[in-house]
Structure 1
Amino acid sequence: MTLPHPGYVVALTGGIAAGKSAVSRRFEAMGVHVYDADVAAREVVAPGSEGLAAIVDHFGTGVLDAGGQLDRAAMRQRVFGNDAERKALEAITHPRVRAWLRERVMADRGPYCLLAIPLFAENHDHYRWVDRVLVIDAPEAVQRERLMRRDGIDEALARRMIERQARREHRLLLAHDVIENSGDESALDRAVADLHARYLALAQAGR
């Protein structure tokens, strides 16, 4: 079923270290609202939330830190390599993240907005209500180099982090628009400006 919404919605995604944040910042500088699934993931398990209560109910208080917040390191250790526990955590958090994003889309009054969803390709069936998909793409060799420099990790770990995500080819199959981001970040300015104009036109046309 298609979800009604007041404006045009673009899902922004891409592989790890492809440059999603750099693109998001440029859209925001043009006055476009960007709602981030990573922000949502923190909000829905904040202290006092139903999400955190559900996590504690399933996993126990050992996943809380001294301040009563979710201990993300402990949680990662708990679910790492354990598919059943990982799926239990995702069953708690993912529907709440989607609801958080949908609420913000419904309240948005701009001509269009963006949803920054790193794992869109893995969960795209749940986002059939978006109007368009923008993929930020970079060759895996570029992703590895950026990850190693950004996180101070070795090549083997960078490879494993990339391999845990959807394949690049799968993301590109879902894309209506692609920004190729293998070069200098300044090259993004023109690409984002062009897409901004396109999305304004599409939103005005109601498509």
Structure 2
Amino acid sequence: MTVWVGLTGGIGSGKSAATDLFMQQGVTVIDADAISRSLTSYQGSALPAIQAAFGDEAVVDGRLNRDYVRELVFKRPEAKAELEAILHPLILQTIKQQQNTISAPYAIVDIPLLTELPQFRALVDRVLLIDSPEALQVERVMARSGLSREQIASIMAQQATRAQRLAIADEVILNHGDMQQLQQQVLECHKHYLQSFGTV
């Protein structure tokens, strides 16, 4: 029986880098963000419901009109809840379908908003947090994105706090150093999981 680890972390925490390092060890990773993108890609299965909810302008030539939907969500906060009500059940369903095809001592579901969305916690047995000091998160995002400090602060304000993430975590990787240090912690965590849940 596969033990499912929910991997999460805030913007700029190094979550993607950690996920890549686990995959290099042969660990299966289900990516919730990738599923969300596929649902809204060309002729994606979420598009008919999005078009019905937000009008014909929301979907153009079989593709999500992202600018139009983003503007709607910005102008009308309840539109965000409507969009999530369409996407989240489909994401949950797709993750469960993928989980049923996997057999391993453990595998990972990469869910950035695991803390904010309790319904997704039912998909996993443990929570692994990639944690970073908030000031370091801001510096990393500024370096890679070109966003201002104020814009990043606004994004972080809409996410769970560091304390809230730590409160639900079973394991924590503190990513406050270089890539070599992160790699060492991922290898130690991988070894711990294999020892705890069986060997490959």
Which TM-score tier does this pair reach, normalised by the shorter chain? over 0.9
Q: Is the 8 A contact 2:31 2:111 kept in 1?
A: yes
Aligned equivalent of 1:174, options 164, 168, 174: 168
CA distance in 2, matches of 1:193, 1:49: 36
| Unmatched runs of 5 consecutive residues or more in structure 2 | none
Secondary structure in structure 1 of the residue aligned to 2:117: helix
The alignment yields a C-alpha RMSD, in angstroms, of: 1.5
Count of matched residue positions in the alignment of Structure 1 and Structure 2:
199
Stretch moving more, 42-51 or 176-185 = 42-51
Q: Is the 8 A contact 2:96 2:123 kept in 1?
A: no
Q: Are 1:9 and 2:13 matched, yes or no? A: no
CA distance in 1, matches of 2:75, 2:186: 38
Q: Are 1:76 and 2:59 matched, yes or no? A: no
Please report how far the alpha carbon of residue 109 of structure 1 lies from its aligned counterpart in structure 2 after TM superposition: 1.6
CA distance in 1, matches of 2:29, 2:49: 28
Stretch moving more, 196-205 or 136-145 = 196-205
CA distance in 2, matches of 1:179, 1:76: 33
Q: Is the 8 A contact 2:7 2:128 kept in 1?
A: yes
CA distance in 2, matches of 1:41, 1:98: 10
| Unmatched runs of 5 consecutive residues or more in structure 1 | 1-5
| % identical equivalent positions | 37
Q: Are 1:57 and 2:57 matched, yes or no? A: no
TM-score (norm 1): 0.91
Q: Which amino acid aligns with 1:30?
A: Q
CA distance in 2, matches of 1:152, 1:94: 29
CA distance in 2, matches of 1:50, 1:128: 23
Other-structure match for 1:24:
19
Other-structure match for 1:184:
178
Question: After TM superposition, where is structure 1 displaced by more than 4 Å over at least 4 residues in a row?
Answer: none
Cα deviation 1:104-149 (Å, max 9, x = unaligned): 1111122211011000001124322411100001111111111111
Q: Are 1:94 and 2:78 matched, yes or no? A: no
CA distance in 2, matches of 1:202, 1:71: 46
Other-structure match for 2:143:
149
Cα deviation 1:83-112 (Å, max 9, x = unaligned): 211110000001111111111111112221
Aligned equivalent of 1:41, options 28, 36, 48: 36
Q: Is the 8 A contact 2:47 2:59 kept in 1?
A: no
Cα deviation 1:153-203 (Å, max 9, x = unaligned): 111111111111011100000000011112212211111111111111222
TM-score (norm 2): 0.94
CA distance in 1, matches of 2:10, 2:170: 16
Please report how far the alpha carbon of residue 61 of structure 1 lies from its aligned counterpart in structure 2 after TM superposition: 1.9
Secondary structure in structure 2 of the residue aligned to 1:17: coil
Secondary structure in structure 2 of the residue aligned to 1:46: coil
Q: Which amino acid aligns with 2:158?
A: R
